[in-house]
Structures are given as structure tokens and as C-alpha cells.
Amino acid sequence: MTVRVVLATHNQHKAREFQEILGDAVPGLEIVAYDGPTPVEDGVDFAANALIKARAAAAATGLPALADDSGICVDVMGGAPGIFSARWAGRHGDAEANLRLLLDQLAEIGDADRGAHFTATLALVGAGPQSEPVVVQGIWPGRIAREARGEHGHGYDPIFIPAGEERTAAELSPDEKNAESHRARAFAAIVPALRDLVSTAG
């Protein structure tokens, strides 16, 4: 028996990345695209926004739903952009403007103080109103580069240098990134709940 879970995102980059990361980790699971309405993400942290999206997708489709909320958090900026990462420059989804603004804001900050991390929070919500949601988090530590480098990835990847690396996330191969990224770490944490979902349905 195959269990279908709707992925609550319209972001095709993210959907592709999720499919690549999930791979064969959960036999019997089919991730399906979501084309329903986008809820207002008015939560005050990553977990709240992930739950808002997952609950909306589950309600719209009648399927269990998986959603994430993710962003980059810069130490010297008190964790910003954080939940505002996708609209840091003022317009949602303008990745180039977001990246440029963050580089400008850190222009005078020395290399020793450019610590940052990517955060991904995943929320899994069952189809029934009585189901208990599962929320997990993945952290990818590193620092902010002084200029954008690399052709892979998206968003802030060209200016994020993972801990232990000299390359940016956008200079890593897709396989390298998918093995270490914040989403990979969050997925590793959510796999047991997805397996439980499949085994319960079976």
C-alpha cells in the first residue's frame, strides 16, 4: 500500500530538493504536489509557520501534509533574517535582492563575526483533526561569505559557507548539499514519523 503525503509548497526548487533528499528512506510513501491556496504565514517562528502551511494543505486535500519553514540566521544580526528570509529586501521571493541586501548589511563585519546557520523546520500533520502534529528542526552551521559564488542551489546558497568548508553551498554538488543541508538534517529527523505513518496505514 502506498501512502500519499502532500508537500505544502509551490516552490519548485524546494519540491525537487525534498524529493531528492527523501529518496528511498521511506518505502511506500508518495510525495504529491500541492496546488491549493497559500495561507498567510503569520507565525512568529519557523515552527508556527510550518504548522500553518501543513494544516492548510491537509485541510484542502484531505491528505497528511508535510511543510517546512526555513531561512538563514546571522549571529551578529540576532538571528535575522530568520523567518523573514524570503522577503528580506521587501518583496517575497526576490532572491537576488535579498542576497545583495544581506551582503551590504554585513559589509563592515569582520570574518570572525560572520557566523550564521540555515534552519529548516518540518511539520507533519495527519489528515484527521485528532492527529498530533510532529515538528522537527535541522540546523546547518557556517558563515557568510563576502561575495556570492557558485552556480548550484538557490536563495542564500551563494553566500553561505558551511562549517568545515571553503566553498559556498552553491559551489557544492547537489549530492554534497543534500547530504549535509539543513533540510537533509530535518528530513533525517522526520523519517521515523513518516515511517510510522506508512506502517499505521498498512
**Active centre residues (catalytic):** 69
3-state DSSP call for residue 32?
Answer: strand
Find residue 137's DSSP bridge partners: 121
| Sequence-separated (6 or more) residues with CB below 8 Å from residue 173 | 152
Cell of 168: 559556498
What order of strands is seen across the sheet that includes strand 134-144? 29-33, 3-7, 65-74, 115-125, 134-144, 160-162
Spatial contact of 70 and 137, defined as CB atoms under 8 Å apart: no
Distance (Å, rounded) from C-alpha 117 to C-alpha 141? Answer: 4
DSSP result, 111-137: GGG-EEEEEEEEEEE-SSTTPPPEEEE
